[in-house]
């Protein structure tokens, strides 16, 4: 009977349906549910007996694939497959599947929450009040402000709708989306550098460069509008985090709200831990029961399709 190695601790956390899909097809988990991710050494060990992998942020390299001689499919319990060597999988005829759209609304809502909190200093006020203070912290209204959205896919478009409801002006940069589609969602299509120079707040919704080069390096962060807010609920590799901390410290940037980091969990000595006007959360934008159920079911169903010799519905390219 085929076995499925599940490495992500959030798989099927809020619904039994994804587990049932696997079990009904006789592809039960090789590793029972645990509340921690699987360490790399154990991943290599467990992979030897796996016909399928369902993974989270684990780096799935050629080494992992070669340690799994029975492997027939790799499923990302999420959307972005940048932590999986898709080219290596393709060379080994191993399909990589994911769950596009399953967490779009969850991430878009959370992103707007980050923007609101950073703009109005909600967490700073809570911390002060909980410690016995009673500050009156001022922050600008969003109405009439300009939001720049970098990456105009499902999440970026949902975010645009929320921003419109608050009366914000919208700029969008996405070289893979037609200008007419951007305009149809009420945003002005612009080049990245123009967006950074004009936006009062910038939100990132694009995959990182495979080379590891940050999209927003020191020069681009410094070119942002003075006092601007940066929101990143996508990937940590998009931002030069040390440069961001420096520009927050100098006062050039107004605030930053981040849910994704280049190293996770965030190291104790990370410069953003001590940077002012910063909101840091633990890569949890997609953590809603609704998204968790949809994500788990989508990848479980595609795993079963591949193990049955069928084409998956959501194969990464």
Q: What is the mean pLDDT of residues 31-35?
A: 60
Instruction: Give 240's DSSP letter.
Output: -
pLDDT tens figures, 89-131:
999 999 999 999 999 999 999 999 999 999 999 999 999 999 9
Residue indicated by tokens 């994500």:
295
Q: How confident is the model at residue 131, as a pLDDT?
A: 98
Q: Which residues of 165-189 are buried (b: 16+ CB within 10 A; e: fewer)?
A: eeebbbbbbbeebeeeebeebebbb
Cα angle 11, 16, 19 (rounded to 5 degrees) comes to: 60
Q: How confident is the model at residue 108, as a pLDDT?
A: 98
List active site positions: 235, 264, 283
- 57 in Cβ contact with 264 (< 8 Å): yes
Residue 216, pLDDT above cutoff 60? yes
Pairing relationship of beta strands 255-258 and 229-232 according to DSSP bridges: parallel
Rounded Cα distance between 232 and 19, Å, is 31
pLDDT tens figures, 146-198:
999 999 999 999 999 999 999 999 999 999 999 999 999 999 999 999 999 99
Instruction: Give 38's DSSP letter.
Output: P
Q: How confident is the model at residue 33, as a pLDDT?
A: 55
Tokens of 253: 């940037």
Residue indicated by tokens 């549910």:
33
Q: How confident is the model at residue 29, as a pLDDT?
A: 75
Residue 17, pLDDT above cutoff 70? yes
List of domains in the chain: 4-102+288-308 (3.40.50.720), 122-276 (3.40.50.720)
Q: How confident is the model at residue 85, as a pLDDT?
A: 96
- Name the average pLDDT for the chain: 94
Q: How confident is the model at residue 39, as a pLDDT?
A: 80
Percent of the chain with pLDDT over 70: 97
Rounded Cα distance between 44 and 26, Å, is 23
Residue 2, pLDDT above cutoff 90? no
What CA–CA distances, in Å, run from 113 to 166, 276, 285, 295? 12, 19, 10, 22
**Which DSSP string do the residues of 252-277 spell out, in sequence order?**
SS-EEEES--SSSSPPTT-GGGS-SS
The answer for 222, left when phi > 0, alpha when psi is -120 to 50, beta otherwise, is alpha
List of residues 6+ apart from 165 with CB closer than 8 A: none
Burial class (CB in 10 A: 0-12, 13-18, 19+), 309: exposed
């Amino acid at each position: 009977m085929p076995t499925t190695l599940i490495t992500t601790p959030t798989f099927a956390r809020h619904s039994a349906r994804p587990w049932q899909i696997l079990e009904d097809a006789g592809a039960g988990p090789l590793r029972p549910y645990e509340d921690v991710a699987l360490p790399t050494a154990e991943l290599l060990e467990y992979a030897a007996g796996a016909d399928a992998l369902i993974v989270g942020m684990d780096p799935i390299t050629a080494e992992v694939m070669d340690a799994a001689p029975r492997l027939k499919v790799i499923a990302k319990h999420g959307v972005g497959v940048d932590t999986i060597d898709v080219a290596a999988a393709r060379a080994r005829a191993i399909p990589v599947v994911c769950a596009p759209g399953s967490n779009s609304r969850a991430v878009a809502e959370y992103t707007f929450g980050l923007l609101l909190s950073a703009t109005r200093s909600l967490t700073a006020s809570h911390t002060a009040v909980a410690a016995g203070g009673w500050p009156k912290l001022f922050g600008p209204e969003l109405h009439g402000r300009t939001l720049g959205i970098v990456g105009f896919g499902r999440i970026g478009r949902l975010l645009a709708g929320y921003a419109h409801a608050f009366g914000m002006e919208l700029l969008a940069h996405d070289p893979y989306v037609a200008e007419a589609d951007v305009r149809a969602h009420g945003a002005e299509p612009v080049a990245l550098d123009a967006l950074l120079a004009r936006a009062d707040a910038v939100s990132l919704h694009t995959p990182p460069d495979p080379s590891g080069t940050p999209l927003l390096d020191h020069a681009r962060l410094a070119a942002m509008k003075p006092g601007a807010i940066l929101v990143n609920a996508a990937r940590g590799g998009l931002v030069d985090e040390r440069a961001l901390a420096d520009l927050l410290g100098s006062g050039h940037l107004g605030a930053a709200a981040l849910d994704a980091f280049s190293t996770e969990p965030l190291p104790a000595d990370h410069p953003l831990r001590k940077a002012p006007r910063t909101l840091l959360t633990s890569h949890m934008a997609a953590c809603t029961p609704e998204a968790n159920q949809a994500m788990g079911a989508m990848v479980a169903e595609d795993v079963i399709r591949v193990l049955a010799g069928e084409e998956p519905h959501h194969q990464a390219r």
